[in-house]
Each structure stands twice: as structure tokens, then as C-alpha cells.
Amino acid sequence: MFSGDNMLELCKYVFRNENIEYIGALPIESCKIINRSLYERTCLWAKSVILFLVPYYTEDHPERNISLYAVPRDYHSYMASLTDRIVQRLQYLEPDRRFRGMADHSPIAETSAAAQAGLGIIGDNYRLINEKYGSYIFIGEIFTDMVCTEAPKEIGLCLHCGACTNACPSPKNCLSALTQQKGELDEETVMLMKRHNTAWGCDICQTVCPYNEDAVKTPIEFFWQDRIFELTPDILENMSDEELKSRAFGWRKRKTIERNIKLLTE
């Protein structure tokens, strides 16, 4: 039904009811392979990759102590169900083709690929910045053996205003990564977490970015449901193990996030 020059039409058609409007495609040879082992295990057969953006920003809150992406339930569950739906639709329309959905854990450099597909520019914090949703987006991919005739676009860069780099509280070791460490944290990390009131993650480079000043809120219902802006000892204590698993901060298990909340309330 769709092939060759119509590949983007196919992409837009299968995403039409998902509130996802930024979709692009690249030949696989235009992508930088950053995980050769994963690539060879999962999609060595791929000739092209379909890239799409999932906006997640809803709103901010003055008492927020976790990263904005972790306010709703874990985005991985949404991305998994979304790519399953899209692959099923693609397979129905193109039964002789192969498709595989991925997000976050991908064999390619997602940010540069999305920029080459025309979905945004790259900021000094290495985040993709979309013209409508700013950097509050997740990048997803569908690998396929269909042939893409789209030419890669030149990677656009931000204006280098310095807002993100000047505001970063921990340039050598990202504060977001520091909050996710297991075991005992050093004194410097504890002080940073307290100073910036974070029990999980860090959004400083995004919240100061001028491109995010007018970021449009997500139209995707998933990210508006079951939001938690401030993690407290009581909230965590009353959270079942099953619910904890459904949260982005749950991947490091209860002990890690429990430690972080305790540090903030001491």
C-alpha cells in the first residue's frame, strides 16, 4: 500500500490517532550506531528508522522534588504500549515488511538521528529541542526493512546562550545521575540534592532554557494521570511495590529513593 517515497505518509497514517505530530524517517546508514551488539542482535536487517517525538510536559509545581519526566507514571510503559500498537498497524498495512519498536534503550544515537530527521535542534546540554514542545520530549523509533528516500537534514544547533551550562549545579557529574546512585552518597552530592531540593533527577538545564519558556503542554492523556510532584516519606511508605514499579524512580528500588527522601527531610 505504501512504499518508497510514500514511507512518511505511512508513518503519519499509523500515528494519526495518537496525538503525535512530529514524525520523520532516516536511512539506517545515516544513523550513528552506539550499541553495535544490540544493533546486530535486534535489527541488523533494518534499512530505515522511523523517528517520532512524545511530549510529556504537563505543568510545574513549586514543591516539586522529582524530575518532570518522573511526575507521571513511568514513560517506558507508555512507549512500550505505543510502539506495540504502531508496529501492529504497520504490519497490517505492510505484512511482508519487518518492524521493531524501540525507545530509550536503542542501538542508535537517538538525539542526532531525530535532529537529522528534522524533528528539532540540539542544545548545549545535548537534549533535542523541538519547536513546539521544547526539550520536554521522549524520542522513539521503529526500525524497518522498508527503504527511506528522505535525505538527512543538517543538524541544527541552539543559540549557545549559555543558560544551561551556567546554571548546571554539577557539570562534571550530572546531578540527575548522582541521585540515582546506589549505596551511601558523598557529602558533596548530599549538599547538592538539598540545595536543589531533588529526590530524583534534575531539570535545571531544561527549566532555564529559553526554548522551553513557551513549551506547549502534552496532549497525551497518559502524562496527565496519577501525577506526583512531591515525594514525601508518607507517600512512599503508602506506595505498594507494584505501584513503585510503575514509576520512573522505581527502577532503583525502594531503598534508593527512600534514602533520597530521608536526606531531604533531615
Single out the residue of 127, 116, 124 nearest to residue 156, CA to CA.
116
Strand partners of residue 54? 138
- What are all long-range contacts of 123-127, with beta carbons under 8 Å and residues at least 24 apart? 123/157, 123/158, 123/164, 123/205, 123/209, 123/211, 124/158, 124/160, 124/162, 124/164, 124/165, 125/164, 125/165, 125/168, 125/205, 125/206, 125/209, 127/205, 127/206
Please indicate whether residue 104 is annotated as part of the active site: yes
Cα–Cα dist 12/141, whole Å: 14
Amino acid symbol at 49? V
Half-sphere CA count of 7, side-chain side, radius 13 A: 24
Task: For residue 71, give the 3-state DSSP assignment.
Answer: coil
Reading the block at residue 134, the C-alpha cell is 521544547
Reading the block at residue 205, the C-alpha cell is 538545564
Convert 78-106 to b/e letters by CB count within 10 Å (16 or more is b).
bbeebbeebbebbeeebeeebbbbbbeeb
Amino acid symbol at 53? L
Convert 209-221 to b/e letters by CB count within 10 Å (16 or more is b).
bebbeebeebebe
Cα–Cα dist 83/46, whole Å: 16
Catalytic residue among 60, 84, 104, 186: 104
| Catalytic positions, written as ranges | 104
